[in-house]
Amino acid sequence: MGVVGLKYLELGRSGLRVSKIGLGTWQIGSSEWGWNRGYGVDDVVRAIARAHELGINFIDTAEIYGGGVSEEVVGRAIREFRDEVVIATKVWPTHATYDGVLKACERSLRRLGVDVIDLYQIHWPNPLVPLSSTMRAMERLVELGKVRAIGVSNFSLGRLKKAQECLRREEIASNQVKYNLVERGVEKGLLQYCEREGIALIAYSPLAQGFLTARYSASNRPRDLVRRLNPLFDPAVLRRAEPLMTLLREVAARHGAEPGQVALAWLIRWSRVVAIPGAKRPEQVESNARAADLELSDEEWGMLSEAASKVSIGIWPRLKTPLRLLGI
Ligand SMILES: NC(=O)c1ccc[n+]([C@@H]2O[C@H](COP(=O)([O-])OP(=O)(O)OC[C@H]3O[C@@H](n4cnc5c(N)ncnc54)[C@H](OP(=O)(O)O)[C@@H]3O)[C@@H](O)[C@H]2O)c1
């Protein structure tokens, strides 16, 4: 396969240009995703190399993924082309104090084997630590040349504005949040704000953790912990989603594509949205990159939005999923 027609956008006003399809790496080192059961280090290293070959230049990791294994593997895999990729990592909320952020950043730099982190993100808000301390530490890291741009993750619109107010010199480049066809909470204001203000909205779980690839059904469910905890994979929800899956397959067939590519193409039509699908092997990266070649018509986009809005999760699957895991 040749190079795909990836488009690029700037993360806020940071000067960092990233491909609108990036690569998520929670899967690396994470037993909850089935690490070393069906895929392992060779697969993900080849996946990262393939991403680079195809023009995907944005890799997202976090200190928490695989207890640091993800950062280590990413660091090793990009060594030969470090200057051609934008590395994003995240500080876990238990390290949100001023000193905690500075120390966590040092550890991430060491595991990644780099001098500077391109985008450093606060993984989740920590209501027990004043946001101003966390943001001051982030700004200090930019001053020290250890971080190029500041991002947040899982921040509501109100908290995003507050975080920006805490900064004296820097601007927030991005907010990483869950966004896909069937999980569209960000459309209640956050998305519109980011589009207007030029803040990148980094969409995590853009395939709804594989739900939107239309490979799973009530009789064929993934068995890893992540998806056993995700109510989207409840049999009743999978059954309710059949009309959407059929539509995804139909639209995909029309474009000679795959359903997951349609779901990604739907997402990156927004000008400030970057999707970071997680991948376990090079074939998945290749398929996800191909979504950049897919132009949906307005009619297709509207039909998909409409069909997806009918997939309700409901209260019972939300309650049942964690209870089942506890054996209740
Ligand atoms: N900031 C946060 O709080 C946060 C939270 C979650 C995720 N993230 C980030 O966002 C990234 C993506 O989110 P996610 O991993 O939750 O979900 P996702 O990207 O929606 O789904 C990833 C899963 O979909 C399947 N898949 C991927 N590409 C595929 C393809 N081309 N064909 C068929 N199946 C494919 C793979 O699982 P199977 O092959 O097993 O089906 C893969 O593990 C993460 O890796 C992480 O970097 C951030």
In angstroms, the CA 312 to CA 231 distance is 10
Q: Output the pLDDT for position 1.
A: 47
Q: Angle at which helices 259-267 and 282-290 pack, to 10 degrees?
A: 50
Helix H or strand E encompassing 200 = strand 200-204
Please indicate, yes or no, if residue 126 is contained in any of the structural domains. yes
CATH for 133: 3.20.20.100
CA of 207 to the centre of ligand 1 (A): 6
What does the block give as tokens for 157? 């619109």
Residue 132 CB less than 6 A away from ligand 1: no
Tell whether 318 is covered by a domain: no
Given a contact cutoff of 8 angstroms between Cβ atoms, the answer to whether 129 and 95 are in contact is no
Closest ligand 1 atom to 261 CA? 31
Give the predicted TM-score (pTM) of the model.
Answer: 0.97
Alpha carbons within 13 A on the beta-carbon side of 235: 3
Please identify every residue annotated as catalytic.
Answer: 65
Q: Would you say residue 161 lies in a domain?
A: yes
CA 161, CA 189: separation in Å to the nearest integer? 12
Confidence at residue 327, expressed as pLDDT on a 0 to 100 scale: 66
Q: Are 172 and 147 in contact (CB under 8 A)?
A: no
Q: Whose CA is nearest to atom 10 of ligand 1?
A: 204
Q: Is 320 a member of any domain?
A: no
Instruction: State the pLDDT at residue 4.
Output: 83
Question: What's residue 314's pLDDT?
Answer: 80
* CA dist 139 → 98, 126, 144 (Å): 10, 18, 9
For residue 314, is it within any domain? no
* Sites in the chain below the pLDDT cut of 70: 1-3, 325, 327-328
Distance CA 150, CA 142 (A): 8
Whether 282 lines ligand 1, by a CB cut-off of 6 Å, is no
Instruction: Give the residue, out of 25, 26, 283, with the most ligand 1 atoms within 8 A of its beta carbon, to mutate for a pocket test.
Output: 26
Q: What are phi and psi of 34, to 5 degrees?
A: 95, 25
Q: Bin 69: left if φ > 0, else alpha if -120 < ψ < 50, else beta.
A: alpha
Q: Is 197 a member of any domain?
A: yes
Ligand 1 centre and the CA of 209: distance in Å?
5
Residue 134 lies in a domain: yes
At a CB cut-off of 8 Å and minimum separation 6, what does 290 contact?
1, 4, 257, 258, 261
Structural domain total, the chain: 1
